[in-house]
Amino acid sequence: MDILDPQLVLGAYSVGVFPMADARDADGVYWVEPRRRAVLPLDGFHLSRTLRRTIAADRFQVTVDTDFTAMLRLCAESASDRPETWINGGIEDVFVRLHHLGFAHSVECRDGDRLVGGLYGLAIGRAFFGESMVSRATDASKVALAWLVARLRVGGFTLLDCQFQTPHLTSLGAVEISRTAYMALLEAALEGGTTAGSPDAVSGRGAADFGALDRVPAIDSVSGPVAGKDIVQLLAQTS
Pairing of strands 159-163, 36-39: antiparallel
Predicted local distance difference test score (pLDDT) of residue 132: 95
Task: Label residue 198 by pLDDT band (50, 70, 90).
Answer: very low
- Rounded CA separation 18/186 (Å): 13
Inside any domain, residue 51:
yes
Inside any domain, residue 1:
no
- Rounded CA separation 111/106 (Å): 16
pLDDT above 70 covers a percentage of the chain that reads 87
Residue 206 has pLDDT above 80, yes or no: no
Q: What is the pLDDT of residues 73-120, one digit of tens each?
A: 999 998 766 667 889 999 999 999 999 999 999 999 999 999 999 999
DSSP annotation string for 132-195: EEEESSTTHHHHHHHHHHHHHHHTT--EEEEES--HHHHHTT-EEEEHHHHHHHHHHHHTTS--
State which residues form the domain around 217: 6-236
Inside any domain, residue 29:
yes
85-to-37, 70, 136 alpha-carbon distances in Å: 20, 16, 16
Which one, of 131, 128, 116, 133, lies nearest residue 213 by Cα? 128
Strand partners, 64: 107
Inside any domain, residue 196:
yes
CATH code of the domain covering residue 184? 3.40.630.70
Inside any domain, residue 34:
yes
Count the neighbouring beta carbons within 10 Å of the beta carbon of residue 113: 6
Total of domains in the chain: 1
Tally of residues, the chain: 239
CA angle 11-194-174, nearest 5°?
Answer: 75
Whether 207 and 193 have beta carbons less than 8 Å apart is answered as: yes
Inside any domain, residue 226:
yes
Against a cut of 0.95, is the pTM above it?
no
Inside any domain, residue 94:
yes
Q: What's the average model confidence in pLDDT over 190-213?
A: 62
Q: What is the pLDDT of residues 110-167, one digit of tens each?
A: 999 999 999 999 999 999 999 999 999 999 999 999 999 999 999 999 999 999 999 9
Inside any domain, residue 212:
yes
DSSP annotation string for 79-134: BTTB---S--HHHHHHHHHHHHTT-EEEEEEEETTEEEEEEEEEEETTEEEEEEEE
H helices of 2-57, where? Answer: 6-14, 49-56
Q: What is the pLDDT of residues 52-63, one digit of tens each?
A: 999 999 999 999
